[in-house]
Every structure is written in C-alpha cells, then in structure tokens.
Amino acid sequence: NAGVTQTPKFQVLKTGQSMTLQCAQDMNHNSMYWYRQDPGMGLRLIYYSASEGTTDKGEVPNGYNVSRLNKREFSLRLESAAPSQTSVYFCASSERLYGYTFGSGTRLTVV
Amino acid sequence: GDSVTQMEGPVTLSEEAFLTINCTYTATGYPSLFWYVQYPGEGLQLLLKATKADDKGSNKGFEATYRKETTSFHLEKGSVQVSDSAVYFCALRTNTGNQFYFGTGTSLTVIP
C-alpha cells in the first residue's frame, strides 16, 4: 500500500548513543517532515524539507540533524541522545494542496 | 503567527451521544483546515478537510464547517461509537507555506 514507512518502530538508547530514524514515502510528494509527539504538547515540528535538496529547521531542531537523501527518503539523526529526546517521532509527507500522510511512528526511549 | 487552539480534553461520552470538539485558528490569508485522528498506537490519519470559507468537510459521520467570520472549524458527530475513541487534532495549512500548524489534540473516550 502507498504511504509513509518509518523504521524502526521501537528503540531504546543509552544517553550519548547515536541513531538514525529512517523514513521513506512512495507517493512522489515533494515535502517531508519530522515531528515529535509528547504528552500534553501535541505535535512539534523538528525539521522539514520542502523539496529534494533543501532542509529547514522547525520549532525544536536542537539535538537533531536531517538528510533528504532523495525525493523518497528523509532521515532524522540523533548524534548524542539525551533523556529529553524520549518521545514518539512521526515522519510525514505532503503535496502543497493536500494534507499530510503520516507514518506509524517510532517510539524512542533514552535511558 | 499562525496557530490553532482546540478544546482541552479529555472528553468522555456515552455511546450515541453528540460530539463537539471546538477548534479556532489564527492565520493570515485563507488557510486550509483539517481534522486528523490518531487511534491508540498509530500515526495520525486525515479525517476531513476544508479548503475555503463555508466549505463543509465530512467523513465517517464527522463534519466540520470552515467559518471565516468566527475563525473556527469545530468537529461534530451526531452519534458517537466506542470505535471513535481516539485523539483528534485540528490543523491548518497556510496558503503561502509548506508547514502545518497543529492543535494540542483532544482525547475522546466513548463508553458503552
């Protein structure tokens, strides 16, 4: 089925470890996004990519980096994980006139 | 700046009750408005949308009307079911940018 695929679904990291969250979409969308979801805070934008080759900071970019590898793939990297980065991470893609399509999320715990 | 404000939850209703979840927005120009639903353990799914004033979005018995005069996009359903238990997010997309702005979400629990 067409959509947004995120991997992994679950991850536990120790403080200071690094990891990359992968996201791929097969809908030929130009724009892709990374959000984090925390209780009582809704969704907060970390980074987005309006088109292949461009990335921009969102509301909460500190501690993260992103790569728009090609039109399909948009990865999120934590270089040195901290407990404050414990969250559920969602990738999404969209075309200008339409809504987002979200992945199923990555539940990350940093201990 | 652009923003969305939705009623805080949690909301608990009995099956077949009437549902309203309030959403108001602040934006320049003419944004598009959306409601998303998140079931437990899943990502957000688009529930309905409206792209211009007075448009009504509808899906699965849910409705919302884009009211520019009151800058609102309230979600309604006439008779809720247990399967409607989820978190509902109101969102807007400006007509000038690529970003969405989400509300903080309203948790709905429907009891039999």
Please give the pLDDT value at position B28: 83
What SS3 class is residue B82? Answer: helix
Contacts for B86 with CB less than 8 Å, ≥ 6 apart = B37, B38, B39, B40, B107, B108
Confidence of residue B9 (pLDDT cuts 50, 70, 90): confident
Which residue of A31, A58, A90 is in closest CB contact with B43?
A90
Confidence of residue A1 (pLDDT cuts 50, 70, 90): low
Please give the pLDDT value at position B40: 87
Please give the pLDDT value at position A41: 77
Average pLDDT, chain A: 92
Confidence of residue A74 (pLDDT cuts 50, 70, 90): very high
Average pLDDT, chain B: 92
Q: Which of B9-13, B81-85, B86-90, B93-97 has the lowest mean pLDDT?
A: B93-97
Asked if residue B80 has pLDDT above 80, the reply is: yes
Check if the beta carbon of residue B34 is closer than 8 Å to that of residue B48. Answer: yes
Check if the beta carbon of residue A105 is closer than 8 Å to that of residue A7. Answer: no
Q: State the Cα–Cα distance between residues B105 and B21, nearest whole angstrom.
A: 10
Burial class of residue A15, CB neighbours in 10 A (0-12, 13-18, 19+): exposed
Q: State the Cα–Cα distance between residues B92 and A80, nearest whole angstrom.
A: 33
Please give the pLDDT value at position B8: 84
pLDDT tens-digit readout, A25-52: 999 999 999 999 998 778 899 999 999 9
> CA-nearest residue of chain B to A89?
B43
Asked if residue B95 has pLDDT above 80, the reply is: no
End-to-end CA distance of chain B: 41
Q: What percent of chain B has pLDDT over 70?
A: 97
Asked if residue A2 has pLDDT above 80, the reply is: no
Check if the beta carbon of residue B44 is closer than 8 Å to that of residue B36. Answer: yes
Burial class of residue B14, CB neighbours in 10 A (0-12, 13-18, 19+): exposed
Name chain B contacts of A90, Cβ cutoff 8 Å: 43-44
Chains A, B: CB pairs < 8 Å: 49
